[in-house]
Amino acid sequence: MGSPGLGSSKRKLLPEPAISMARVSLLLIVLSIALVTPSQGFVKELLFRKVKDTLLEDGTTEILDRVCNYRVTPLLQNSELYFKGDVWCPSWTVIKGESLTRSRTRVVNRAIADFARKALAEGLVTQEDPRLFLE
């Protein structure tokens, strides 16, 4: 057993490490809050990038017997998911149809409609050509 003074000094030392551990724990909590809060945007961006890669779509479609390209890209605006659609026909014109909508199923059709309006304004098609508007 040792001297009584040695044992009593151990008892006095026990609360001090507990206090310093509480201070260290509090410091770690404050630091983790300070560091995690700004980086949540990074986590959100990382998660959205994975979703974006899954929802991104490229393909081809025909407009007036011409092969045209389309692309659907998901966008996050004000914490809401939108889809951006682009349609272009590189072998025909430089016109690009665009759309932005919350509907994944309508985004390409709206981009084609925008393409049709622009092609009509440029004189590439006439209003009498129903095939363009029926697609």
Q: How many Cβ atoms from other residues are within 10 Å of residue 97's Cβ? A: 23
pTM given for the model: 0.60
Residue ranges of domains in the chain: 4-52, 56-134
Residue 10: per-residue pLDDT: 47
Token pair belonging to 78 = 């004000």
Domain 56-134 has CATH 3.30.160.320: yes
Q: For 2-28, how does the pLDDT look when each residue is reduced to its tens digit (9 = 90+)?
A: 445 444 444 444 445 555 556 666 666
Residue 48 belongs to what H/E stretch? helix 15-55
